[in-house]
Amino acid sequence: MISYILRPIKLTDLNDLKALTQAMDASIASLPNDKNILQQRIELSLQSFAKKIKTPGKEYYLFALEYIPLKKIVGVSGISARIGEGTYFFAYERQKEIFEHCPLNVSKTVEVLKLKKIKKGPSELCSLYLSPQFRVHGLGSLLSLSRYLFINTFPDRFDTELIADMKGYRDKDGNSPFWEAIGDVFFGGSLSTVDTMKSLGHKSFIRDLMPRHPIYIPLLPLKAQEAIGEVHTASKPALHLLEKQGFKTGKWFDIFDAGPYATAKRKDINLIKNIRHATVSQIAQANKEVSFKPFLIANDSLDFKVCTGNLSKHPNDTATIDVNIAQALNLKEGSSISYVKH
């Protein structure tokens, strides 16, 4: 039997999602612990799945990992179709400026952070969280990597570049040295509040309150300098998964905590390059007559479902699948599927 399946979130998941956000401790700004906002996020996701799309826009797709025996969701992951759609996406870019004075034989290279205002930017992998007691048996990979199957099946819904915002460094007391050096001076309030406002699309305050000149890195306190590009301990496993897929950091940094953005061209992502499509030619019981191998398997439908299961691939782009997979993904003979090793 299949115990776990990834699928689009539903309104009936609202209470489970609320329980998950209570455990997140404000770690995911796009999913605050507010029932009304969470309901709005679910409704936006449902609208996004239902839309006919020619080019990516403001769509937001939220997936739930369901533990089938309890009919309970234990994790979520999301994709924002395009950042900077309808409003700017803000990030810091590290650059170098050269200061020279020939008579004194002085030449200095100084690193600066310059504010980037990006319109119609990349698609963003976001809203990833798995309940701690379920961080076993590769469920984190199922939750994270399944999104690539959806992106590959519906490429018109997404940009050719993907981005992921990594939570920045916090000290042992949970404080962000970069926020204390820059953000708190100009914004006030708490980092979690402004981060949530940014994630939910309320960005006019950034335009009005951000410093209007480049930030000269050597002028910052040493701890703030060291925090630039450093990842929060809790986010290191997620960054490791991204790096295994070909994502790189160092291009852009979060304007509030200086955490890095991981970026990759869609065509260069390792898992996407290895995805294969097939038609289900047979549904069989697992037995000695069929040589099954484990894959991530998805139905090629907007009623998107993914699970880890057994499949036997054939040379003519057809495949035999386990009956349990067919039941979990609502497949029949002739159905189209995507699959990939992970």
Give the separation between CA 66 and CA 246, rounded to whole angstroms. Answer: 28
Q: How many helices (H) and strands (E) does the chain have?
A: 11, 15
- List, in sequence order, the alpha helices (H) in the chain: 14-24, 35-50, 139-153, 177-178, 184-186, 191-199, 204-209, 222-227, 236-244, 270-274, 323-329
Q: Are 108 and 102 in contact (CB under 8 A)?
A: no
Find, among 314, 336, 311, 341, the residue nearest to 323 by Cα: 311
Give the separation between CA 117 and CA 90, rounded to whole angstroms. Answer: 5
Q: What does residue 92 show for φ and ψ, rounded to 5 degrees?
A: -90, 140
Q: Which of 232, 277, 314, 342 does the annotation list as catalytic?
A: 232
Q: Please say whether the dihedral angle defined by the alpha carbons of residues 10, 13, 14 and 19, taken in this order, is positive or negative.
A: negative
Q: Which DSSP letter does residue 48 get? A: H
Number of residues that this document lists for the chain: 342
137 noted as active-site residue? no
Residue-wise over 221-238: b if at least 16 C-beta within 10 A, else e?
A: eeebbebbbbbbeebeeb
Q: Which residues sit opposite 168 in a β-bridge?
A: 231
Lookup: tokens for 243 = 């790096």
Give the separation between CA 48 and CA 46, rounded to whole angstroms. Answer: 5
**Catalytic annotation, residues:** 232
